[in-house]
Amino acid sequence: MKIGLVTDSPADLPLDLAESHQIEVIPAILIIEDREYVDGVDITREQFYAQLPSMRRHPTTAAPSPLDFAAHYQKLLADGCEHIISIHTAEKLTSLPSFARNAARDFDGRVTVLESGSLTLGTGFQVLAAAEAIAQGSGLDAVLLQVRSTRQRVRVAAALDTMDYLRRSGRVPAAITAIGGLLSIKPVVELREGAVKPISAARTTSQATSALLEFLRNLGSLERLAILHTNAEARAREFLSMLMKDKSRRNIPAEIRLLNVTSLIGAHLGPNGLGFAAVKKELA
């Protein structure tokens, strides 16, 4: 069975991996001063983050329409795919999975829509797991099993440099506001099943970085790892250097990517944020 894969741009799947595995990536929409920008097409991440602090109104985001999803599904089916797996950012955070399901109804059971419970490469790693299983010749059930296994083992965490952008976005979870004043702390948080959970509250950037590193160390052996940042490459490289000097480095994969996360996520987190996406190894 030839299986096609679809995901969304907030999954942050690097372009080289999407192209090599022939994964269809549906771009979401960024709205700045009432103008719509296609994610990754009309404005670069670097341009967006440079403009973000001076924007008069907080940028908002929007999902593509079900017709956009349907167009990608139709393309894959026309290319000979017998089934499509469509994996999307957490349903608690976006309407992307709902729109994908609406589109899938017109394809007579040939499209399976999964929501990842995560975002950025927490979703992207699930897509990549599916792609690798497909490349190995696995059938539909085996591919879906691999995606679900990865979802259970994926972890995404971040150390935010400021609470201001979360406050302005209107998406400050009560669990975060409860740990300190909105503008006086640098929260370290984890995203699990679409919910933001506090890890610690730091007063300085270095304290937040240390707390994030400790959380990563405690995950144990990792199958995949990426260091994430919001236009803060120097901070991300410093974090990676700290990790590689640590005695636990034997528990991390040989390939670790640094990723400037999509503007759609950065709009809510603000610049100079640091994080990671990891997949824990399966227990023997």
Q: State mean pLDDT over 209-213.
A: 95
CB 189 within 8 A of CB 196: yes
The mean pLDDT of the chain is 89
For residue 187, the one-letter residue type is P
Which pLDDT score is estimated for 170?
60
pLDDT digits (tens, 9 = 90+) for 123-168: 999 999 999 999 999 999 999 999 999 999 999 999 988 777 776 6
- Report whether pLDDT(185) > 70: yes
- Report whether pLDDT(197) > 80: yes
For residue 268, the one-letter residue type is H
Which pLDDT score is estimated for 237?
96
- Report whether pLDDT(96) > 70: yes
CA distances from 75 to 18, 60, 101 (A): 16, 29, 17
pLDDT digits (tens, 9 = 90+) for 250-284: 788 989 999 999 998 888 888 899 999 999 998 75
